[in-house]
Amino acid sequence: MSDPKQRTTRPAGALAAATGILTVDLAQVAENWRGLKSLLAPNVTCAAVVKANAYGLGAARVIPALARAGCDTFFIATPDEAIEARHLAPKATIYALDGLIPGAAEIFIRETVRPVLSTYDDAVLWAAHAKISAHGAAPCALHLDSGLNRLGIQARDARRIAADKDLVAALGAKLVMSHLASADTPGDLKNREQLLAFETISSLFPGVPRSLAASDGLMLGKLFHFDLVRPGYALYGGQASQSNPTPVKPAVTVKARILAVSDVAPGESVGYAATWHARRPSRIATIAAGYADGVPRSASAADGHQGGHVAISGKLALIVGRVSMDLITADVTEFADGAVRPGDFATLIGPGISIEDAGHAAGTIGYEILTRLGTRFERLFIGDSG
Ligand SMILES: *Cc1c(COP(=O)(O)O)cnc(C)c1O
């Protein structure tokens, strides 16, 4: 297990030579968690979803920072993430969303991690493990489907479980939860339908704490809060819903080095497959980040098709031509002489370019941008109180 204080395996001083830097403001992540918590009644738990290495940012630093801010309940997805989270937050309650893949039950018992069970068979399997565990019971969560039709116990199986008193006793469910399909669209009728469906099926398990809302769901109002909310994306400054934004601020910036600035004559093309042509005498900056770093190739630009942006000294520049594995090219013709220099940084995400902007320009969502930011970015953590 890696030392949480250790940033990367690179030698000290590597930062000076990094081609790209991903900065995570841990104080802002903690502030975002507090901001979301402030929307809840005092008896509602504000958990934190830190799956996928805290949405690609670095669980080793994000989990301890949130724990210090007072967060005592975390959700991860996989057994490996469970082991890491347990190491980083020894006292926290930890739920594993992916449930019981083969071999996982032993790990969850050992690490005192609560699996989120999503099938009838998993419930039976967990009950068997719980009976032979040291305490004769092992806490878990039941994920009930309320209309997403992804992971979640179907109503018929939920009734089968609830009717089996021995099974219910052995399970020791500490949470019943469900997940919303359209929380980022507050006016969508599906939210109401799922709320009602969840009320109905969760009543099969009276007295067990309930949870329905993630980042956007908790903005739908107190009816959606139940006993625990599970924000992830918003903690990192993501704003999935434009119409009903969460009270959070950006916590992530991504910068990459400018490697070269060159003149391109009118009619010349830039990049693979010559998809973009200069229509005027142009200056093109080549920047050290590409699709291997998580800059989507779909953020490319071609003649007649605008792609994504970068920002240099606070001013936006359009990506031109194809995004390649290690490089992107941006049109800096409008910049003053000497304003764009090799060795300087271009901003990929930061002031002027939100995670959502970067996603939109690539035909995807900010979640995908965040979670795919590559391992070549040096991760720099600021604002850490620990
Ligand atoms: C990922 C996930 C969350 C967190 O969702 P955000 O939109 O990132 O807040 C909550 N619950 C479940 C079941 C999830 O899979």
Is residue 218 within 8 Å of 303, Cβ to Cβ?
no
Alpha carbon distances (Å) from 228 to 42, 75, 210, 216, 246: 11, 12, 7, 14, 17
What is the pLDDT tens value at each position of the chain, 386 positions in all? 344 444 444 555 567 778 999 999 999 999 999 999 999 999 999 999 999 999 999 999 999 999 999 999 999 999 999 999 999 999 999 999 999 999 999 999 999 999 999 999 999 999 998 877 766 678 999 999 999 999 999 999 999 999 999 999 989 899 999 999 999 999 999 999 999 999 999 999 999 999 999 999 999 999 999 999 999 999 999 998 888 889 999 999 999 999 999 999 999 999 999 999 999 999 999 999 999 999 999 999 999 999 999 999 999 999 999 999 999 999 999 999 889 999 999 999 999 999 999 999 999 999 999 999 999 999 999 998 76
The token duo for 188 is: 């969508």
Is residue 296 within 8 Å of 302, Cβ to Cβ?
no
* pLDDT at residue number 242: 82
Average pLDDT, the chain: 94
Rg of the chain (C-alpha set): 24
Question: What does 83-123 look like in DSSP terms, one character per residue?
Answer: HHHHHH-TTSEEEETT---TTHHHHHHHHT-EEEE-SHHHH
Ligand 1: which of 29, 33, 46, 75 to mutate, judged by most atoms within 8 Å of the beta carbon?
75
Ligand 1 atom nearest the C-alpha of 240 is 7
Strands (DSSP E) along the chain, which ranges?
A: 20-25, 45-46, 48-49, 73-76, 93-96, 114-117, 140-143, 173-177, 210-211, 228-229, 252-264, 269-270, 276-277, 282-287, 309-312, 315-320, 328-331, 345-349, 378-382
Q: Whose CA is nearest to atom 3 of ligand 1?
A: 214
**Can you give the pTM of this predicted structure?**
0.94
CA–centroid distance, 294 to ligand 1, in Å, is 21
Q: Give CA–CA dist 108/96, Å, rounded.
A: 9
Q: Is 191 in the pocket of ligand 1 (CB under 6 A)?
A: no
CA–centroid distance, 231 to ligand 1, in Å, is 6
- Cβ-based neighbour number of residue 23 at 10 Å: 19
Helix segments in 189-291, DSSP class H: 189-202
- Cβ-based neighbour number of residue 60 at 10 Å: 22
Is residue 141 within 8 Å of 173, Cβ to Cβ?
yes
Helix (H/G/I), strand (E/B), else coil: 199:
helix
Ligand 1 atom nearest the C-alpha of 234 is 9
Ligand 1 atom nearest the C-alpha of 151 is 13
Alpha carbon distances (Å) from 285 to 141, 300, 334, 341, 346: 51, 14, 12, 9, 9
Conformation bin of residue 280: beta by default, left when phi > 0, alpha when psi is -120 to 50: beta
Ligand 1 atom nearest the C-alpha of 183 is 7
Helix (H/G/I), strand (E/B), else coil: 76:
strand
Q: Which of 51, 55, 233, 236 is catalytic?
A: 51
Alpha carbon distances (Å) from 319 to 4, 112, 186, 364: 36, 48, 33, 17
Q: Which of 131, 222, 249, 272 is catalytic?
A: 272
The amino acid at residue 168 is V
Signed CA dihedral, 178, 76, 250, 343: sign only: negative
Ligand 1 atom nearest the C-alpha of 238 is 8
- Cβ-based neighbour number of residue 351 at 10 Å: 10
Taking only the tens place, the pLDDT of each residue in 133-147 is: 766 678 999 999 999
Burial class of residue 276 (count of CB atoms within 10 Å of its CB; 0-12, 13-18, 19+): buried
CA–centroid distance, 51 to ligand 1, in Å, is 9
Q: Whose CA is nearest to atom 12 of ligand 1?
A: 179
The token duo for 74 is: 């975390």
Q: Is 232 in the pocket of ligand 1 (CB under 6 A)?
A: yes
Is residue 197 within 8 Å of 147, Cβ to Cβ?
yes
Query: Residue written as tokens 């071999």?
Result: 103
Q: Which residues does residue 255 pair with via DSSP β-bridges, in sequence order?
A: 21, 347
Q: Whose CA is nearest to atom 10 of ligand 1?
A: 214
Q: Is 74 in the pocket of ligand 1 (CB under 6 A)?
A: no
Taking only the tens place, the pLDDT of each residue in 71-109 is: 999 999 999 999 999 999 999 999 999 999 999 999 999
Angle between helices 26-37 and 59-69 (to 10 degrees): 50
Is-catalytic flag, 291? no
CA–centroid distance, 232 to ligand 1, in Å, is 6
Is-catalytic flag, 51? yes
Torsions phi, psi for 297 (to 5 deg):
-65, -25
Q: Is 114 in the pocket of ligand 1 (CB under 6 A)?
A: no
